Amino acid sequence: MQKFQPTRSVKFGEYGRDGITLKGNAAAHAKFWEEWVPDQFQKLNVLLKGKDRFTASGETVGELYLWAMLHQMKLCKPQLFSATPQLGEFYERIEKLAGVKKVVSGASTYGAWEQYFVNPE
């Protein structure tokens, strides 16, 4: 997403602080969401095979990190899991964890967080 999705500090058509990354190629942005994301989500969906977790505990650092990345994507595309129900179940299960709710609601020691990735204007 960092390469294709505008952020709250770098709008579509602007360069990032690195002076290299351009958030302005509408064709690449569309291809990312229409081709790359569905392909990768299908692969994750297959890995779940009737489960709502990737590991026995279901709460590893990797699963929480994956959830955080999926959450950033879902903020931009609310219907993100329409074609991958198993991945959607994984997302919803993690979303309901007390610690995750605390962080997302802004009640943790980190305080309120602002959405980083935004939709193009």
Q: What is the pLDDT of residue 22?
A: 65
Rounded-to-10 torsion of CA 23, 14, 104, 96: -10
Q: How confident is the model at residue 29 (pLDDT cuts 50, 70, 90)?
A: confident
Per-residue pLDDT for 18 more than 80?
no
Per-residue pLDDT for 27 more than 90?
no
Structural domains in the chain, sorted by start: 14-105 (1.20.1050)
